[in-house]
Structure 1
Amino acid sequence: MPYIKLDHAGFEAIYREYWRRLFDFALSKTHDRDVAEELVQSLFVEIWERRTELMISNVRSYLFVSMRNRVIDYYNEKQFANLELAADEVAADTAAPDYEMFLDELETTFKDAVGSLAGKTRDIFMLNRLEGKSAKEISVELSIPERTVEYHITQALRQLRTILHKGIALIITLISGIIF
């Protein structure tokens, strides 16, 4: 298949024939006229700048694949920008007094939840999660089977998950009531 030569006349012919179709394609994907126009213009600018090195055999395929890739890049950049914005908002929120209040309430709720566990279950949980001891080390220290230690850890986690889920929902409700 012969390659297209992109001199001034050839470029202008391609531009006139495909500009509107590429714009419509980009608009259907981005739903934003300004973005679609920018993507099409940047594609044609790049083609013009690289006209001496490009070897295009199927202009239509080349243009639409290039435009599809530009739309994908646009969404990737947009997603990354949204993540950066969210990170900035979180960083700003962590400096707010409401965040400190939330952490204090969360710590109190956690301590109360651990305190509500049965004695042996609480002791085993504290040894495992707060002191970092393994089930085997705890079983040796307390002279009980390792499976019993695992059972108590599982029970503690189950109970804490239930208690903390309710507690955090309540804290968020209270804090959001204060904020608004």
Structure 2
Amino acid sequence: MLIATLDTHIDLDDAQLLTLLNEQNSDSFAQIFQKYWQELYDFAYLKTQDVDASEEIVQELFVQLWEKRKTLRIANLRSYLFVSVKNRVIDHYRQTTHARLDSIADLPSDTPYPLFLEELESAIGDALAQLPEKSQQIFRLKKFEDKTTREIAEMLAMPERTVEYHYTQAARTLKILLSGFLSLLIWLFSSSTF
């Protein structure tokens, strides 16, 4: 068993720090924090370009690490921390995107929002037209008609893996084809004036 209190001069490896952390040793938590905070912050900032969001993401991660220290089963501390930051960055983007989209609902009725909808529908239609016919059909069934992979496979008499493949390929292609349009839309809605 490891010593209950840590001397700040002793460098313990991650496995030892995790063992002590599971035993509710606050010194081990402090060492983990000191060892990884800056790297995690830099990683979050690289992805968000937002000082406050990056600090909040890393702070919340360490709060969760401390609160769940007894139940967490971590094999590789470094990987766990960086994957957690990556997931929190994704969540951050989801929240900010939803907030922007929610603010669209508050627009006055004389804004050209329906025009953007028409342009978006047109861009999606044009992008879909560039896909192979089978991929188009599967994408439309899954996204527009809300069919499950199993239902689509039964309808088209093909294996579920084939349906998944076509859908994945279609989604990747559409993401690339629509990336410029969607970036422009996000930029337009993020600006304070129209």
Q: TM-score, normalised by structure 2?
A: 0.46
